[in-house]
Structure 1
Amino acid sequence: MYPKGILFDLDDTIISYSPVAEPLWRKLCREFTFRHDSCDAEVLYETLMEISNGYWSDAERHRMGRLNLEAARREVMDLVSARLGLDPAEARSMADAFSVQREEAVHIFDKARETLEHLNQRGVKLAMMTNGHSSKQRAKINRFGLEKYFSAILVEGEMGFGKPDPAVYHRALKALALSPEEVWAVGDNLEWDVAGPQKLGIFGIWNDFANTGLPEDSDIIPDRIINTIYDLVLD
């Protein structure tokens, strides 16, 4: 039985966003070292990953950085260039190339549209909650024609706050005119899309799109685990 409403995440839930990052960074590292003999491609990539993971592990820096990804990626590459002695301008150009090419590589998950259409036909009210800058998130929503499926679309950059702030879930519930026990929340981020909603009494579904399984040390236990939102249709 379907709930009266579902709160969907966007990136890595409806559209594939993260999987394109590693192969793209590796390609750009190879291209960079082909033009410059200053370092090895694998050393450049491993250094980039180490610094990037540290940069994004800080919650406040993550919150600010995701609202201006181009600037954040340039900051990361500044740190990489300082570590490896690279030309800062050349390193920043690699960050800019990543920003452009990543958006081009993003694609909608297989059968995501069919899932949303199916839920619409069943009378399930849908809301989208997505973190990030308004222009970036809206561009993806428009590119894949997703707006028509949702009664409400809540974007962090437009509201001034984002997941896991309880205000986001409250606003989504208000937009759908539903109570917590009448909706599900679906997304790939355990903290933002599962734990946050669960604290309000919302059924939290984790989209394990990479099929990695729940981390052994996770203290967040989803009410349900799926690998694609199309799994919601197969019940």
Structure 2
Amino acid sequence: MAPQLPKALFLDLDDTILADSDPGDDCWFAVYQEFTDHLTGISYQKFLAVIHERRNWFWSDFTRGRRGRLDLPVARRQMATEALQQLGITDNPLDGPLAHEMERVYSRERDQRSQLFPGALETLHWLREQGRPLALLTNGAAKAQRKKIEKWSLAPFFDCIVVEGEFGTGKPDERVYLHALNRLGVQPEETWMVGDNLEWDVAAPQWLGITGIWVDRTGAGVPHTHRVRPHRIIQTLADLRIKG
């Protein structure tokens, strides 16, 4: 039986359509290999553990995270600089040349390794065939997000694209969802928001009356301590084609 679909859908990009986080550790491994001479006596496991620690600290603060999303090279250089300091490696404490080179290699690897999730493109085609207007709501810098959209030729699928760096604010600011509703000419109760972030793609839209569909790729479920309760949980975008 065909699934029941809403009048319109809002879709997230990173980690919903595009596998954005998956290659992260592989990219840091490439960095480690390229700069082994500077990391004498430090195992990859130790290097990665410190990188994770600095990364988790950086993204734990909403304001700092938003600043980082809008200038990822600077954010990554800061993480690399702090990791090097923690590992006892001498580099200019204010964003030195080694941190710059590490960021360059990491960003190159991320660009090369980014991939669409299996079934994502087919699902976008299918949604268009159903005649449903679509909006893409993505946080991040304008140049970086547009580069992803262009690389995978995603723009033709969407009637509205809202990029944080272009719009001036991003999810979970209610203005993002309200703008997309207005552009598509639909009401909140006629719309689904689909994405992997419980706060941005579920809680905030639900507050406006939009149905929140959570993409739980690991299948771990909503953490017991989390207050958000999605209307529906799927593991891949392709699950939208299955009656829920």
**TM-score with structure 1 length normalisation?**
0.95
Displacement of 1:30: 4.1
| Count of residue pairs brought into register by the alignment | 235
What is the DSSP-based 3-state SS (H/G/I as helix, E as strand, rest coil) of the residue aligned with 1:18? coil
2 CA distance for matches of 1:122 and 1:44?
A: 48
Amino acid at match of 1:134: A
1:233 and 2:233 matched: no
Displacement of 1:116: 1.0
Query: In 2, are the aligned partners of 1:38 and 1:86 still within 8 Å (CA)?
Result: no
Deviations 1:104-151 (Å, cap 9, x if unpaired)? 111111111111111111111100000001111111111111111110
2 CA distance for matches of 1:15 and 1:160?
A: 23
1 CA distance for matches of 2:143 and 2:99?
A: 25
1 CA distance for matches of 2:218 and 2:107?
A: 22
Within-5 A mapping of 1:177-192: 177-192=185-200
2 CA distance for matches of 1:96 and 1:49?
A: 18
2 CA distance for matches of 1:78 and 1:87?
A: 10
Aligned residue in 1 for 2:68 = 65
1:214 and 2:222 matched: yes
Aligned residue in 2 for 1:80 = 83
Structure 2: which 5+ runs fail to align? 92-96
Aligned residue in 2 for 1:18 = 21
What is the DSSP-based 3-state SS (H/G/I as helix, E as strand, rest coil) of the residue aligned with 2:131? coil
What is the DSSP-based 3-state SS (H/G/I as helix, E as strand, rest coil) of the residue aligned with 1:101? helix
1:101 and 2:101 matched: no
1:135 and 2:143 matched: yes
Amino acid at match of 2:125: E
Higher alpha-carbon deviation: 34-43 or 201-210: 34-43
Identical columns (%): 42
2 CA distance for matches of 1:60 and 1:164?
A: 12
What is the DSSP-based 3-state SS (H/G/I as helix, E as strand, rest coil) of the residue aligned with 2:23? helix
Match of 2:131 among 94, 117, 123: 123
2 CA distance for matches of 1:43 and 1:85?
A: 12
Query: In 2, are the aligned partners of 1:33 and 1:41 still within 8 Å (CA)?
Result: no
1 CA distance for matches of 2:159 and 2:50?
A: 43
Aligned residue in 1 for 2:119 = 111
Aligned residue in 1 for 2:5 = 2
Amino acid at match of 1:56: W
Amino acid at match of 1:14: I
1:33 and 2:36 matched: yes
Structure 1: which 5+ runs fail to align? none
**TM-score with structure 2 length normalisation?**
0.92
Aligned residue in 1 for 2:204 = 196
2 CA distance for matches of 1:177 and 1:153?
A: 14
Query: In 2, are the aligned partners of 1:33 and 1:40 still within 8 Å (CA)?
Result: no
Query: In 2, are the aligned partners of 1:205 and 1:226 still within 8 Å (CA)?
Result: yes
What is the DSSP-based 3-state SS (H/G/I as helix, E as strand, rest coil) of the residue aligned with 1:198? helix
Deviations 1:142-175 (Å, cap 9, x if unpaired)? 1111111110000000011000000000001001
Query: In 1, are the aligned partners of 2:194 and 2:214 still within 8 Å (CA)?
Result: yes
Amino acid at match of 2:99: A
Query: In 2, are the aligned partners of 1:204 and 1:222 still within 8 Å (CA)?
Result: yes
